[in-house]
Each structure stands twice: as structure tokens, then as C-alpha cells.
Structure 1
Amino acid sequence: MTKTLLTPDYIFESSWEVCNKVGGIYTVLSTRANTLQAKFHDRLFFIGPDFWQGKENPLFIESDNLCAAWRQHAAERDNLSVRVGRWNIPGTPIVILVDFQPFFVQKNDIYTEMWNRYQVDSLHAYGDYDEASMFSYAAGKVVESFYRYNLTETDKVIYQAHEWMTGMGALYLQNAVPEIATIFTTHATSIGRSIAGNGKPLYDYLFAYNGDQMAEELNMQSKHSIEKQTAHYVDCFTTVSEITNNECKELLDKAADVVLMNGFEDDFVPKGSTFIGKRKRARAAMIRTANCLLGTDLGDDTLLVGTSGRYEFKNKGINVFLESLNRLNRDKNLKKNILAFINVPGWVGDAREDLQHRLKSKEKFNTPLEVPFVTHWLHNMTHDQVLDMLKYMGMGNRPEDKVKVIFVPCYLDGKDGIFNKHYYDLILGQDLSVYPSYYEPWGYTPLESVAFRVPAITTDLAGFGLWVNSLKNQHGINDGVEVLHRSDYNYSEVADGIKDTISAFSAKTDADVKEIRKRAGQVAEQALWKHFIEYYYEAYYFALRHAAKRQLG
């Protein structure tokens, strides 16, 4: 009986990425919304920053009559400037966008209160800390105002805050409206990401790192402080994978109460003949672009391999992928030509006119364009990590090379000037994807890949890879996903592992590949939100129970 009593009546979720497509958290929230909306029917509210005033935001559909009376009350009584509407995603949940600029004048008072009440150290703030904190505080104020106007203490209310950027709002509510149960989710610890990004070994020494000390060393005290204190004070602290939970234990001195694994929806995956048609067109576009750039005549039997994601050269394993391709080029067992794409947005300039010119013409070309590695010019051609490493390794995309590498340094938004296709409409053309991450709290990219039935290579330092290892009947690439063991110091073994996997894959028959593709899709099916949403219900239960105890004192 207790479980049914402790289901929330209202859920508020705040994130910097509500109606604001920045990274992986956007994917978490926007794909999960439909599942929650179906259960909670407009008792689910997302709160995001409003920096779109006077500008068109295709993700936000404003409404004048949604919560109209409260909105007026919030403006007149609570000095809160909010816009209410719906998020233009499946489920179209209600969204409240708040203007947080007016709070900057109270900044010092807010920080003082946070120090006195929760020992949050904002003294060393710089960069985006102030902006994020003012949004976070404003979001807390919005929920307080909504609660006082619309709800009563018999309503069971959850406030879930995502990442350090929203911690302050959760702490504010903890005191201002103690009836509200708070959940804080860290998707990656700020200090863990920083240690990894600064080239320090993260995993072998994790037990020896002191989070506070490292925050000082890496000049991250304020972000680390809000993250750590929120984790300790909220009713339920959560993270997205066991690998990040290890980080939280060591660097924040707090283990997660519940691990909320990242699911997704596969409604963006085309079905049947649409899928076949899109895959054909994607392959044709990639091979044609390569032939025009390289002056080659690669055919449809070329093996298309790719990686994608944020340009974090070491953390995302782009370096080890390039190393593996260089070794693969000398591999005697390789049965097919390999065309490898690095789809990672860099400091991009313009689409190459010489390449555009060739793509428009009908003829075949037998001479390469200059710099036959990039589809778009970069502002930093002489200091780009991908180009530097290709040069260092002596990879030349020569006619006799069985492995060719092409760097696509732009966002694939359908109007890049070369492919003019959206990311999802291009990656489904690949035969194999490689995501050998060193630092990856979850890993949506390999999950999306297998959803498109493109088998993937990843590592056990990615939350997704670790999860795949826990599945029954998962034994490598033949089952759709190859999870390579990765540590601080086995770079060379990982490069060999990728090389060997691609080489073995190149020898597979069409029937083998068809079966592997089917199994890749089956892995993705097990990560749908309908399976993973249970962890959220567990967190709601945990938080509501804890909040009830807290009020009893």
C-alpha cells in the first residue's frame, strides 16, 4: 500500500537544457517526457531559462491561457517574469521559461544565504557559475510561487534538478517549501570531467583523489561546492550510471541513492521501406562525397565506419580511434576498403566550395582535392587535433591506402552545405560505429547507433558499455556491441581491439551482417524508457519518503 501512497501528484524538473538543445541532458529529458506525460497528464512541468525573449524558439510553443491566473499572480505578487507553453517534442509537456536576469541584483544576498544555510562556497565563482545559479534560484522561486498559488500540503510534489547548474534551486526549496521532495541528478561530476579533460589518470587513482582538494587545484571550487552540497542535502541524490556513481562516492563523498539509467525512445528511427531508402541514400551520399574529395572510385561494398559526439579528443576516444585506423591500414587481414568518418563539430568555417563544385557535377574525378581530409574549412587548420594526428601518423588518404579518413567538422543539421542531411539521416548509412570513450557517464551515441541497427564498438568506461556487459547473451560484436576493456593506461590495447574488431567485421558474410544488425537493434530495445522509467519511480518514492521524515524532524 505504501508504494501507491508515495507516487507524486506533481513533478517539476528544472534544467538548463529545457527547450535548449545543448547536449546529452536534452536527449534524456526530451525523450523521457512522453512516458511521464502519459502517466501524469499535465501534472508534469519542465522549467528552463528564458533567453529567447523576442527571438523565435522552434522548441517552445507559447500559450496565453495555460496557467494564466497564476502567471499574472507570479508577475504582480512575486515579481517573476515567466512564459508558459509547451515543449515541441513527443508528449508536448508544459514548460515554464523564467527570466532570471532580475535576480543578479540579489546575487550577493543569495550566495550569503547559501553559505550560511548549506556551506555552498560561491566565492571563487567565474564563467557560467553566476548565470546558472541565478537561473537555478529563479526556478526554485517559480515552483514556490506555483505551489503556494495552486497546490496544498496534501499534494505530493517532486522537484528534480539536473546538474550543478540547478542545485541552488533545489536547496532553496528544501528550506522555503519543505513539503516538496527534492531530487538532484548529476550526469557527470564537474570535477571528474575536469580531471579527465586535464589529462590526469582518473580511474586507477580515483580512490586517492580528494574532491575538495582537486577542485582547488583545478580552480573549480564553486561548481564542485554547489554540486557536493546539493548531493548531500537533497532528499534523493541520483546519477546516470554505475561508473559515475563510483565518481560520486569518491569525489562528492556521497553515493547515489538511486541510479537513473538513461533510456531513450526509438520514435526517430524510420521503419520498413523508409528505413531501407534512407540507408541507401545515406550510403550513396557518404561514398559520393568521399570520391569527390579523394578522387577515388570507392564502390558500395566499402565498409563505412564512423564516430561522432562532442569534440573531446581524449575523453571521447577520438585519438585512440585514429590510432586504430592507422594500424588497420597496415592490417593484412582486412578484406574491404574502409571509409571512416569523424562526425565531430570543430571550429568550423565554410563548406568547401571546391568540394561543392565537384558534388554538383556528374563526372568522376581521379585527382584528390588539396587537404583531402576535411569537408569544411576550419578556422584553425594548423592547430586542429584530428588533422594534427593524421599528419603525425602519416595517414594520407592515398589511392593505395585501404583505410581513408574524412573529418566532417560541422553540425549535421540538414543545411551544412555538403551532405545537407540531418545527423540521424546520415549515421544510419554506416556499417559500424566506434565510440572508444575514456570519460562517458552514459553514452547516447552508441545507443542511438544500435537503435539504427548499426553495430557499435564502445568501452567499459562508458555507462552504456558497462550496462551492455550486464546483459545476458552479450558476447561482443556478433551480438551487436563490442565492449572493450579500457583503463588509464591501456590505450594501445584498445587501439588493437578496435582494429581487430573492424578487420574481423570486414570478413563477415551478408547473412552474418544481417544477423548482427538485428541483434544490435535488440540491444537498443532493452534500453527504451518503458523499461528504465521504473528507476525514476523508485527515486520519487525514495524522495517523498525522505521528505516526509524530514518534516517530522
Structure 2
Amino acid sequence: MMKQLLTPDYIFESSWEVCNKVGGIYTVLSTRAKTLQNTFPDRIFFIGPDFWSGKENPLFVEDSKLLQAWREHAIKKDDLKVRVGRWNIPGKPIAILVDFTPFYKDKNEIYTQAWIDFQVDSLHAYGDYDEASMFSYAAGKVVESFYRYNLTMSDKVIYQAHEWMTGLGALYLQKHVPEIATIFTTHATTIGRSIAGNNKPLYDYLFAYNGDQMSRELNVESKHSIEKQTAHHVDCFTTVSDITNNECKELLDKEADVVLMNGFEDDFVPKGEEFEKKRKYARALLLNLANKLLGTHLGDDTLIVGTSGRYEFKNKGINVYLEALNRLTRKKSLNREVVAFVNVPGWVGDAREDLKQRLESNDDYNTPLECPFITHWLHNMSHDQVLDMLKYLNMSNSPESKVKVIFVPCYLDGNDGILNETYYDLIIGADLSVYPSYYEPWGYTPLESVAFKVPAITTDLAGFGLWVNSLKGHPGTLEDGVKVIHRTDYNYSEVADVIRDTITEFAKLPESEVQIIRKNAADIAEKALWKHFIRYYYEAYDVALRNAKERCKSYKQK
């Protein structure tokens, strides 16, 4: 018989990325919000940092009537600087933004208490630790205030905290409002990311690493400490993939209670005729850009390949992507022209005026522009990893080469000065995408790609790649729509060869087979919609509520 899951009456979620678009967690929260808002209408509250006081935040629509009585109480009686409104995303959930700066004056006392109560070591804090911790503490105080003013012991309440940045608030509530059930989600361990980012082998030696010792060696002691202590003390500890769960076991000495895989909504993907129209437009735009930059006459038969994401050169596999493209230039059996894009925001300066002028004219050009690899000037042209590697590989983008590489080093928000279209309006024009990650807890970029029927190449070191393997019952193939390459600490060269060979193979396929692969890619994306993955959250709510109940019982007995 199925166990009856306990369901919360109210849910609070805090994250640095609520109404603040900085990374992948924004995508997790903002796409899932509609599903939860439908199930818990206006009983889910997202709490984020308020950087925007007095400035326009397009993601937050303030509403002075919403929760008015509590908000006035929180400001006057609890000394909290909060603004209430709606997050401007599908579902329009309630968002509470808190100004955490007033807590800086009490920072030392807050850290001392966290050490006394939970052995959180803040002694070695630096960088963004104070800012994140003061926000986290403020978020905890906001939920405490709301709970005391509006709710009672009979209400089942969940507080879900995302990443180390919100751990302090979860621990504060654990102590001060023990009736609230706490969930902590780590999307990537601080130590795992640091080991990978410092060019140390992560996977072969994972069993041998000691998280506490490595945190000292890599100078991330305080972040590791709050992450580890929160994981051990909350009612339900979660992470986003099996691969990150392995890290949690080894580096935090704590296995996740539930794995919350990252779903998404496909409401940004056009349908039917609109899809075809947008794809045609995006292809024409990308090819025109290539021709004007390179002085070429590439036609619609050109294979458009791309990678994108954060500028983590090794972790995201940008290095192995460029290596594969270089090897592709020497592949005699490649039968089509290839334009490969690197859509990764760098330290971008100005849009190139010379390129702009060419794009504005209807003339054909037979000569490339100076530095025909890049669409925008960078502040660090002579020390950029992508440009450095292209130079090292002696890539030329010459007319004779079948493979051309173009680096678009800016956020594709529709206002970059060159392409002036959003990322989603451009990705639809690609034929194939490549995300050969070395460190990738989940991997939204390949998931978004296949949602637009663009087949993707990824690795089994990405949570998404592992999930595709489990879905298919075998390592994902090109025919499946997602090619999943086996990647280890040491097989960089083999991975580059597999990417090279997969692009070559794809370039030869007849259109009828390409259409089947595109449909298979979209089918995989459909299986990752939130309507399928939300059940893992309901499991986590149940675990947290049951454990909180036990915890409160034992408090009373004491």
C-alpha cells in the first residue's frame, strides 16, 4: 500500500536568486514556481535579497496591499526591512525581498551563536560569505516573523533553503521555530566545485578526499562549514543529481535524504509554424553574422553547432569543445561547412563597430575582419582563455578551413549590440549542441537545447547526462537525441575524439534521419518537465514534516 504523504500548508523558499537572475538556480526556482503555485495558491513564498531599493527591478512587482498587516508589523515591531510583491514569472508567486544590511552590525554575535549552537565555523570567512550569511539570517527572521504573526502550531510549514548561502537561516529557524520543517538543497558542493576548479582529479580520488581537510587546503573552510552543518542538522537534506549525491556522501559525510532532479517548463518553446519561422530566422541571423565577420558565403547547408553557459573553462568542458573542433578541421570525411559558436559571457567590452557596420549593410564581403573569432571586444583580449586556446591550437577561420569558430562573449539578452536577440531565440537555429562538462551537478543547457529539438552531446559527469542514461537504459546515443560520452578525470583526448566523430557523423545524415533525432531529443525534454519531477519535492516535504514532528516531540520530552 502507498504511504500517505504529509503535505505542507505553507512553503517558504529562500535563495540568493529569487528575483535575482545570476545562475542556474534561478531557472530551477522560476520554472518550478508555477507548478507549486497551482498546488499551493499563494501559500508558497519566495524570499530573496533586496538590492533594488529605489531602483527598478523588472523581475519584482511590488504590491503594498499584499500581506499588508503582517508587512507593517514586520517593519514596525520586528525591525525588518521587507518589501512584498510578486515575482514576475509564470505563476506570479508571492515574493518577499529583505534588506539584510541592518544585520551587519550584529555579525559577530550572530556568528558566535551559530558556533555555539551548530559548530558553524565563520572564523575564516572572506569574500561573499558575510553578504550571503546576513541575507540568510534575515530570511530566517522574516519567516519567524510571518509564522508568529499569521500561523499556529497546527499549520504544517516547510522552509527550503538553497545552497550554502541560505544555511544560516535554516539553522536559525531550526532553533527558534522548531515547529517549522527545514529542507536544505545543495546544488553543487563547495568542495567539489573547488577541487574541480583547481585542476585536481575529483572523481577517481573522491573516496580518498576528506572534505574538512580539503576545505582548509583550498581556503573555503567557512563556506564548507555552513554547508556541512546545515546538511547534518536540517530535517531533510537534498541535492539535484546522483553524481552530486556521491560528492555529498564523501565530502559532507552526509547522503541526501531525497534527490530533487531539476525539471523545467517548456512554455518558452514555440509550437508549430511559429517554431519553423523562428528557426529559419535564427539560422539566417547566425549565418549572416558568420559571413560578415569572416568574409565568407556560407549557405543554409552549413552545420551550426554551439555551446553555452557560465565561463568555467574546464568545468563546462569549453576546452575540450575547442580541442574537438580543432581536430575536426583535419577530418577528411567531414562533408559540410561547420560554424561553431561559443556563447559564453566573458569580460565583455564594446560591440565591434566594424562588425556592426558590415551587419547594417547589404553588401557581400570577401575579406575577414581583423580578429575574425569574436563579436565583441573584451577588456582582457590578451588573457582570455577561449582566444588563448584558439591561438595555441593555431585555428585560423581561413576560407579553406571547413570549421569556423565564433566567440560571442556576452549575455544574449536581446540588447548585446550585435545579434540583439535572446538566447532562446538563437539556440533554436542550431543543428547540434555540445556540453562536454567535467563538473556539472545537473546541466540545464543540454536540457534547454533538446527542448528546442536541437540534439545535444553531453557527458556522464553531468547530472542530466546520467539521468538520460538511466532513462534510456544505456549510454545515450546520437539517435536518442542526446549523446552521452563517458568522461573521467583523465580521458580528455578520447572525449575530444568522440565529439569530433559525432559531429562528422551527424553532418552526413540525411534530413529524414535528422528529423527523427530531433523528435527523439524533444521527447527526452518532455520527460524532464516539472509535472514529472515535482513528485520528488512532495517526498522531501513528507520527510521534513515527519522528522520535524519527531524533533518537536523530543524537545517537549526534554
Q: TM-score range by the shorter chain?
A: over 0.9
Distance of 2:408 and 2:2 partners within structure 1: 54
Distance of 1:379 and 1:98 partners within structure 2: 34
Q: Is 2:171 aligned against 1:171?
A: yes
Aligned to 1:271: 271
Q: Secondary structure at the match of 1:350?
A: strand
| Residues 458 and 483, structure 1, Cα contact 8 Å, conserved in 2 | yes
Counterpart residue type for residue 390 of structure 2: L
Superposition deviation, residue 439 in structure 1:
0.3
Superposition deviation, residue 4 in structure 1:
4.8
Q: Is 2:170 aligned against 1:143?
A: no
Distance of 1:2 and 1:471 partners within structure 2: 23
Aligned to 1:162: 162
Aligned to 1:540: 541
Aligned to 1:308: 308
Distance of 2:348 and 2:312 partners within structure 1: 15
Aligned to 1:41: 41
Q: Is 2:198 aligned against 1:198?
A: yes
Aligned to 2:233: 233
Counterpart residue type for residue 165 of structure 1: M
Aligned to 1:528: 529
Counterpart residue type for residue 507 of structure 2: S
Q: Is 2:353 aligned against 1:366?
A: no
Q: Secondary structure at the match of 1:78?
A: coil
| Residues 315 and 438, structure 1, Cα contact 8 Å, conserved in 2 | yes
| Residues 291 and 298, structure 2, Cα contact 8 Å, conserved in 1 | yes
Aligned to 1:356: 356
Superposed counterparts of 1:415-454, under 5 Å: 415-454=415-454
Counterpart residue type for residue 204 of structure 2: D
Distance of 1:437 and 1:31 partners within structure 2: 23
Aligned to 1:8: 8
Aligned to 2:506: 505
Q: Secondary structure at the match of 2:288?
A: helix
Counterpart residue type for residue 236 of structure 1: C
Q: Secondary structure at the match of 2:547?
A: helix
Q: Secondary structure at the match of 1:61?
A: strand
Aligned to 1:256: 256
TM-score, scaled relative to structure 2: 0.98
Superposition deviation, residue 479 in structure 1:
1.2
Aligned to 1:216: 216
Q: Secondary structure at the match of 2:96?
A: strand
Q: Secondary structure at the match of 1:126?
A: coil
Distance of 2:344 and 2:287 partners within structure 1: 18
| Residues 13 and 47, structure 1, Cα contact 8 Å, conserved in 2 | yes
Distance of 2:176 and 2:338 partners within structure 1: 60
Which whole-Å deviations, capped at 9, do the CAs of 1:79-134 have from their partners, x for residues lacking one? Answer: 11110000000000001101111111111110010000000000001000001000
Counterpart residue type for residue 54 of structure 1: G
Which whole-Å deviations, capped at 9, do the CAs of 1:54-98 have from their partners, x for residues lacking one? Answer: 000010010011110001111111111110000000000001101
Q: Secondary structure at the match of 1:194?
A: helix
Aligned to 2:184: 184
Q: Is 2:323 aligned against 1:323?
A: yes
| Residues 473 and 479, structure 1, Cα contact 8 Å, conserved in 2 | no
Counterpart residue type for residue 218 of structure 1: L
- Change in CA separation of 1:473 and 1:125 when aligned onto 2, cut-off 3 Å: closer
Aligned to 1:337: 337
Distance of 1:320 and 1:439 partners within structure 2: 13
| Residues 338 and 403, structure 1, Cα contact 8 Å, conserved in 2 | yes
Superposition deviation, residue 5 in structure 1:
6.5
Structure 2: runs of 5+ lacking an equivalent: none
| Residues 75 and 81, structure 2, Cα contact 8 Å, conserved in 1 | yes
Distance of 1:4 and 1:12 partners within structure 2: 22
Superposition deviation, residue 486 in structure 1:
0.3
Superposition deviation, residue 273 in structure 1:
1.1
Which whole-Å deviations, capped at 9, do the CAs of 1:146-180 have from their partners, x for residues lacking one? Answer: 00000000000000000000000000000100000
Superposed counterparts of 1:12-91, under 5 Å: 12-91=12-91
Q: Secondary structure at the match of 1:203?
A: coil
| Residues 66 and 84, structure 1, Cα contact 8 Å, conserved in 2 | yes
Distance of 1:209 and 1:15 partners within structure 2: 29
- Change in CA separation of 1:2 and 1:524 when aligned onto 2, cut-off 3 Å: closer
| Residues 240 and 259, structure 2, Cα contact 8 Å, conserved in 1 | yes
| Residues 340 and 406, structure 1, Cα contact 8 Å, conserved in 2 | yes
Aligned to 2:102: 102
Superposed counterparts of 1:121-136, under 5 Å: 121-136=121-136
Structure 1: runs of 5+ lacking an equivalent: none
| Residues 5 and 539, structure 2, Cα contact 8 Å, conserved in 1 | no
Distance of 1:523 and 1:136 partners within structure 2: 36
Distance of 2:83 and 2:379 partners within structure 1: 38
Distance of 1:443 and 1:417 partners within structure 2: 28
Distance of 2:273 and 2:6 partners within structure 1: 45
Counterpart residue type for residue 179 of structure 1: E
Distance of 2:375 and 2:98 partners within structure 1: 40
Q: Secondary structure at the match of 1:182?
A: strand
What is the number of residues matched between the two proteins?
A: 553
Counterpart residue type for residue 489 of structure 1: Y
Distance of 1:311 and 1:74 partners within structure 2: 40
Superposition deviation, residue 205 in structure 1:
0.5
Which whole-Å deviations, capped at 9, do the CAs of 1:176-216 have from their partners, x for residues lacking one? Answer: 00000000000000111011001111000000100000100
Distance of 1:260 and 1:98 partners within structure 2: 27
Distance of 1:182 and 1:476 partners within structure 2: 40
Aligned to 2:553: 552
Which whole-Å deviations, capped at 9, do the CAs of 1:501-543 have from their partners, x for residues lacking one? Answer: 0000000001011111011000000000000000000000000
Q: Percent identity between the aligned chains? A: 77
Aligned to 2:520: 519
Q: Secondary structure at the match of 1:471?
A: helix
Q: Is 2:412 aligned against 1:412?
A: yes
Q: Secondary structure at the match of 1:237?
A: strand
Which whole-Å deviations, capped at 9, do the CAs of 1:307-349 have from their partners, x for residues lacking one? Answer: 0000000000000000000101111111111000000000111
Superposition deviation, residue 472 in structure 1:
2.8
- Change in CA separation of 1:425 and 1:344 when aligned onto 2, cut-off 3 Å: same
Distance of 2:302 and 2:534 partners within structure 1: 40
Counterpart residue type for residue 339 of structure 1: V
| Residues 11 and 43, structure 1, Cα contact 8 Å, conserved in 2 | yes
Distance of 1:402 and 1:332 partners within structure 2: 10
| Residues 3 and 541, structure 1, Cα contact 8 Å, conserved in 2 | no
Superposition deviation, residue 2 in structure 1:
9.5
Counterpart residue type for residue 493 of structure 1: E
Q: Secondary structure at the match of 1:56?
A: coil
Moved over 6 A (4+): none
Distance of 1:404 and 1:454 partners within structure 2: 20
Distance of 2:5 and 2:386 partners within structure 1: 55
Superposition deviation, residue 3 in structure 1:
5.3
Distance of 1:114 and 1:402 partners within structure 2: 59
Superposition deviation, residue 473 in structure 1:
6.5
Counterpart residue type for residue 147 of structure 1: Y
Distance of 1:448 and 1:139 partners within structure 2: 31
